[in-house]
């Protein structure tokens, strides 16, 4: 149960924004300016195990706001493009190590008095952490070809207080890589 709660943290996008890596790729031959409507394909299978409905809605709403800034309107079906969203989570193990060195011959208790040559110990600490990615795929509805993919990935911070605040910020960063820039009013 605890792992599920930690994993749920991904959607919240409580990665600190500075630690997120944003990547995107697109089909240069796609006519992005001609896309005026979009519909959601749905979440990838298994997303219900990671995301709750509130988090899904939060992510979809943030993308809706960004697509609206680009002159696109959401329709429930038959959009010019179809958007698929999914989350990927991996558990990683990190290691920290530090050395302690004790004694330095000839130092400590006066001339010639000391602890000898000394000794060193190394302490290791392993810890688990989660790395997550939010992927937004945009498909041309007619050709059914992927025309754009935006990805935000980074270490997941489990602090639930920043969920609502960070989700739109992360999605805004993803959408900065979208070929159509926001329309200035």
pLDDT by residue (tens digit) across 94-130? 778 777 766 555 455 555 555 556 667 778 778 776 7
Q: What is the rounded average pLDDT of the residues 69-86? A: 95
Question: How far, in Å, CA of 3 to CA of 172, rounded?
Answer: 28
Give me 50's structure tokens. 């990671």
State the chain's mean pLDDT as an integer.
80
Q: Which pLDDT belongs to residue 5?
A: 35
- 35 in helix, strand or coil? coil
CB-based contact 121:39 (threshold 8 Å):
no
- Position 158 scores a pLDDT of 64
- Between CA 60 and CA 54 the distance in angstroms is 10
Domain boundaries defined on the chain: 2-92+136-175
The CA distance from 22 to 136, in Å, is 11
8: pLDDT strictly greater than 80: no
Contacts of residue 109, defined as CB under 8 A and 6 or more positions apart, other chains included, come to: none
**What are the DSSP calls for 92-113, one per residue?**
EEEEEEEEEEE--TT-SSSTT-
Q: What is the pTM of this model?
A: 0.72
Q: Three-state DSSP class for 146?
A: strand
For residues 147-165, give the mean pLDDT: 80
Taking the C-alpha atoms of residue 80 and residue 74, their distance in angstroms, rounded to an integer, is: 10
163 pLDDT higher than 90 = no
Per residue in 29-51, pLDDT tens?
999 999 999 999 988 776 666 77
What is the CATH code of the structural domain delimited by 2-92+136-175? 3.30.160
Per-residue pLDDT, 33: 94
């Amino acid at each position: 149960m605890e792992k599920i709660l930690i994993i749920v943290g991904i959607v919240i996008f409580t990665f600190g924004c500075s630690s997120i890596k944003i990547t995107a790729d697109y089909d240069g031959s796609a006519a992005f300016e001609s896309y005026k409507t979009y519909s959601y394909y749905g979440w990838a299978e298994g997303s219900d195990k990671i995301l709750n409905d509130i988090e899904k809605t939060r992510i979809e709403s943030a993308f809706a706001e960004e697509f609206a800034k680009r002159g696109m309107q959401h329709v429930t079906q038959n959009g010019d493009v179809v958007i698929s969203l999914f989350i990927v989570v991996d558990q990683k193990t990190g290691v920290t190590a530090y050395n302690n060195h004790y004694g330095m011959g000839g130092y400590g208790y006066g001339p010639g008095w000391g602890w000898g040559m000394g000794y060193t110990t190394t302490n290791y600490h392993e810890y688990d952490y989660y790395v997550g990615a939010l992927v937004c795929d945009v498909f041309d509805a007619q050709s059914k070809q992927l025309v754009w993919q935006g990805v935000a990935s980074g270490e997941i911070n489990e602090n639930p207080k920043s969920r609502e605040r960070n989700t739109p910020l992360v999605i805004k960063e993803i959408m900065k890589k979208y070929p159509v820039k926001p329309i200035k009013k």
